[in-house]
Amino acid sequence: MPYTVVNKEHFSKLTPVGAGGAKDTQYTEAIVTLAPDLILSNYLDKAGADELQAKTNIPVVALTYDGVFSDGVYAALALVGDVMGVKEHTDEVTKAMKGWQKDLSDRTKSIADTEKPTVYAGAVSFKGGHGIEGTYAKYPPFDAIGAKNVVDETGQDGALLIEKEKLVAWDPDIIFLTPANMNLVNEDYAKTPDFYKNLKAVKNGRIYSQVSYNYNSTNIEIAIADAYYAGSVIYPDAFKDVDFEKKVDEIFKTMLGTTYLQQLKDSGNSFGPITIGQ
């Protein structure tokens, strides 16, 4: 999504070749008319890629990846670099990502679990927006900094909905919420204010933002920014030398070619403390 925003003027002049999204439908005739040398596709499996290639008689390269700092992401970047002739650039991006991955890990790996506060990510977006019960096990920004995510005890992996009573039982020290879904949280707060007021994190003013990075797949640059922000909140001493806004500018310039923090702020997706009910 950020890449679409920063390139909107260029993209607005291009011919649509698909419906977009995870359930994308390719406009085969439009693709053939444009006569590209190569088709790059995400979401298509091998059978789908073979079918599109047979219909268009144009070579199709299918890309896929999971997670943020993963071998799949790095392999996808390497493949794009090879087939598009931009290996030097994709190598630079991969090097930067591995640098951030190591930096995040190095800052937190020596902190004992007994010294870590418990955390929870709520109001997470997946297949639409959710209230505080929408969460994530093995949440990549938390995993990158070794955070003590209470949801991991479910043994699940990925986005899920929990019963609100479970959050009361966990009673995490710090709660992170998605700014874009605060309308849902605040609506629920108006109905059941005592539920929220009894949470330790609410009592202690430890509610912070995590900008949604799931929008038609993983927006990796935002997920990395989320990891740095969560790190600065959870482990302030370990991140005290990090100027968060400068770090985010570095991430966005590397991944998008330009800064993007102001666009996030303008859209109501700021990093910072959150007051539920406001």
Distance between CA atoms of residues 211 and 223, nearest Å: 8
Amino acid 66: pLDDT: 85
Residue 68 · residue 47 · CB < 8 Å: no
Distance between CA atoms of residues 1 and 218, nearest Å: 9
Amino acid 8: pLDDT: 93
Amino acid 42: pLDDT: 81
Amino acid 130: pLDDT: 95
**Amino acid at residue number 91:** D
Amino acid 22: pLDDT: 64
The two counts, helices (H) then strands (E), for the chain are 14, 8
pLDDT in tens, the chain (278 residues): 899 899 999 999 999 998 876 677 889 999 999 999 999 988 788 999 999 999 999 999 999 888 899 999 999 999 999 999 999 999 999 999 999 999 999 999 999 999 999 999 999 988 889 999 999 999 999 999 999 999 999 999 999 999 999 999 999 999 999 999 999 999 999 999 999 999 999 999 999 999 999 887 889 999 999 999 999 999 999 999 999 999 999 999 999 999 999 999 999 999 999 999 98
Helix (H) / strand (E) element for 251: namely helix 244-256
Compute how many other C-beta atoms are within 10 angstroms of the C-beta atom of residue 61.
16
Distance between CA atoms of residues 221 and 245, nearest Å: 13
* Beta carbons within 8 Å of 217's beta carbon, 6+ residues apart: 22, 42, 43
Amino acid 21: pLDDT: 67
Residue among 84, 85, 185 nearest 129 (CA) = 185
pTM of the model: 0.94
Residue among 24, 60, 77, 23 nearest 220 (CA) = 77
* Beta carbons within 8 Å of 172's beta carbon, 6+ residues apart: 117, 118, 119, 120, 150, 200, 201
